[in-house]
Amino acid sequence: MLFGRRVRFAIIVLTSQILLIALAVVMLVQMILIAMNGLVQFVENNRAILIAEVFLTILIISFGISVFIIQLRRLRESRNLDYQNSKSEHKQPDH
């Protein structure tokens, strides 16, 4: 295996953050165009390009949902360090 579990997860999270930044940039450009012109219109006359854009958008949405689900699962995981911390907290006497 080329990368360990943590490195793969870090790459996935970084990729999702890059896609989030790209989405924010697109929204910023659209808002600027709306402020300047009052509206934004997109026209795609090439059907193949339109289908490719729709497919890629669905792919990005699916990727974002899967990363969100992976992060939720990882938040619910119990880590060895969590177990050790809770164990040491129970051993210390209260003052």
Give me the pLDDT at residue 49, please: 95
- Would you list the domain boundaries of the chain? 5-76
Residue 78 is classified by DSSP as: P
Q: pLDDT tens across 3-49, in order?
A: 788 888 888 888 989 999 999 999 999 999 999 999 988 899 999 99
Distance CA 37, CA 51 (A): 28
Buried b (16+ CB within 10 A) or exposed e, 7-20: eeeeeeeeebeeee
**Does the structure show a pLDDT above 60 at 95?**
no
Q: Are 63 and 16 in contact (CB under 8 A)?
A: yes
Distances in Å between the Cα of 93 and the Cα atoms of 47, 58, 81, 90 are 71, 55, 20, 8
Q: Per the confidence metrics, is the pTM higher than 0.95?
A: no
Q: pLDDT tens across 42-80, in order?
A: 899 999 999 999 999 899 889 989 888 888 888 887 766
Lookup result for tokens 């997860």? 9
